Structure 1
Amino acid sequence: MSDKNGDFGAFVSGFLIGGLVGAAVALLFAPQSGEETRTLIYDKGIELKDQAEDIIDDTRARAEELAKEAKTKAEDLQKRGQELFDDQKKKITKAVDSGKKTVKKKKDDTAKK
């Protein structure tokens, strides 16, 4: 699971860096006036900031969803583990009681002889 999160983080970083580099190259080689270039850089910066915020919001929502799923699964595993423990405890108690009865019966039979 941590590999998937790491891969996603690398993807987001690569996406943002690639977007910035692509925008910078496009603006530097485009034949425009300085004012137009500054406006484009500003607009692209706002656009990239908005995209980054969207990605962060999506990532946060996904992380919260995964945390809820993990908590639910952990609770289910704990419940199943407790049920298995209780079942085994009953079986062992029953076996011990049976063993005690057998020992008592053998002891009583031996005492009668």
Structure 2
Amino acid sequence: MGAKGKLAVGAIIGAAVGVVAGVLTAPKSGRDTRSDIRNKAEDAKDQAALKRDDAVFKAEEIADDVRVKAAEVIDKFMSGKGKNKNDN
């Protein structure tokens, strides 16, 4: 996992801990507190799924770019453009 991925995971965990701490310390009834925790957990799950989908999409884009560049390099090499100038 890269630095950006670790940062994102850390941010998500930190936000979740902060939300839980805030909800637990708020002066509400147990039912309201449990409902708030359930709602916040669902929101966090949805956000994590969005981040995961975004990461997968970006990884697929990068893989496609690498395939295109590799094909270009192979085509250049196979067409003789990759030869040294001294190899006439």
The alignment's TM-score, normalised by the length of structure 1, stands at 0.69
- Who is 1:27 aligned against? 23
- Who is 2:58 aligned against? 62
Deviation at 1:79, TM superposition (A): 1.7
Q: Work out whether 1:10 is the aligned partner of 2:6.
A: yes
Q: Identity percentage over the alignment?
A: 33
Q: Which moved more, 1:14-23 or 1:54-63?
A: 14-23
Deviation at 1:23, TM superposition (A): 0.7
Aligned letter for 1:69?
A: D
Deviation at 1:16, TM superposition (A): 1.3
Deviation at 1:88, TM superposition (A): 6.4
List 4+ stretches of structure 1 deviating above 3 A.
Answer: 85-89
- Who is 2:77 aligned against? 81
Partners of 1:88 and 1:57 in 2: CA distance: 50
Q: CA-atom RMSD, angstroms?
A: 1.9
Deviations 1:35-78 (A, max 9, x none): 00000000000000000000001110000000000111111112
Q: Work out whether 1:46 is the aligned partner of 2:39.
A: no
Q: Which runs of 5+ in 2 are unaligned?
A: none
SS of 1:26's equivalent?
helix
Deviations 1:71-101 (A, max 9, x none): 1111111222232239765x1xxxxxxxxxx
Aligned letter for 1:85?
A: K
Higher helix proportion (structure 1 or 2): 1
